[in-house]
Structure 1
Amino acid sequence: MSSMTDIVFLLLIFFMVTSTLISPNALKLLLPQSKNQTRANKPLVSVSITHDLRYAVGTQQVPFSMLERKLKQELGPADAFEQPPTISLHADKRVPVDNVVKVMNIAKRNKYKLILATTGQ
């Protein structure tokens, strides 16, 4: 019985270590820093903008011209939800603001809630 508990603890430690190594966002981004952060309930979709202006929904790269259509496919109409669906926007801090605002406009047009991801200090 004691060897069984050893195995369980070893598995527990293994899963704890590997779960912290998993990156939730596969794209390497330098996020802007913020002291004040709020959390959304649970973002349904993550949109990333790299420093060279490549867009991705989740981990799938999407050209900007197809971004709104892809978000509609992922989230559907905002009226179908009790609360508006949330998009987590991960924009590299070197991305020009107008590119971030374009994504914000897509979210506003479709009545999605948008949060801007930052890193803490």
Structure 2
Amino acid sequence: MALKKRSKVSAEFSMSSLTDIIFLLLIFFMLTSNLINPNALNLKMPGKSKTTSVSNSKITDVTIKSNGRFYLNRKKVGASRLEAALKRLAKKESKPTITISPEPNAPIEKVAAVMDIAMRYHISAIMSAELNN
């Protein structure tokens, strides 16, 4: 009497099915990456345009020190007085312009606050890369 051996389940797997899945994933990601809009933020890139020169007498300088204090044309002012002064500037001039000159360790929140005030009153803001002494 011959005993039958149990058939063992093969522990091997087919690489061809794994290759098919990877190939399908590759095709899926290639197709979906082409559908993504790269200009989702609608940023306008700088280009050549006519430059407008502003006389130095019309530019107001806002300096932000590393301790968070504001200086308007080298005079120390508080945040509320700075906003009031920039509001008066916006009413007085047709195209008001300010330069924002933060010190290297100035709090970014203070810089953003000045930029927000300038945007609120339609004031052109120019960021200074280095503090003018």
Instruction: State the TM bucket, normalised to the shorter chain.
Output: 0.5 to 0.7
* 1:39-76 Cα deviation digits (max 9, x unpaired): 96345200001111110110211011221102223x24
Which runs of structure 2 are paired with 1:1-121 in the superposition (5 Å)? 41-42=54-55, 44-73=59-88, 75-77=89-91, 80-81=93-94, 84-119=95-130
Q: Which amino acid aligns with 1:117?
A: S
Residues 62 and 54 of structure 1, relative CA distance in 2, 3 Å threshold: same
SS in 2 for 1:105: helix
Query: Structure 1 vs Structure 2: percent identity of aligned residues?
Result: 27
Q: Which amino acid aligns with 1:91?
A: P
Residue in 2 aligned with 1:36?
none
Q: Which amino acid aligns with 2:63?
A: S
Q: Is the 8 A contact 2:90 2:122 kept in 1?
A: no
Higher relative contact order (CA 8 A, sep 6+): 1
Displacement of 1:99 in angstroms is: 1.2
Aligned length in residues:
78
- CA distance, structure 2, for counterparts of residue 72 and residue 86 of structure 1: 12
Normalised TM-score (structure 2): 0.52
Higher strand share: 1
Cα RMSD (Å) of the superposition?
2.3
Structure 1: 5+ residue runs without aligned partners? 1-38
Q: Which amino acid aligns with 1:98?
A: E
* 1:11-55 Cα deviation digits (max 9, x unpaired): xxxxxxxxxxxxxxxxxxxxxxxxxxxx96345200001111110
**Runs of 4+ that moved beyond 4 A:** none
Q: Is the 8 A contact 1:88 1:117 kept in 2?
A: yes
Normalised TM-score (structure 1): 0.56
Higher Rg:
2
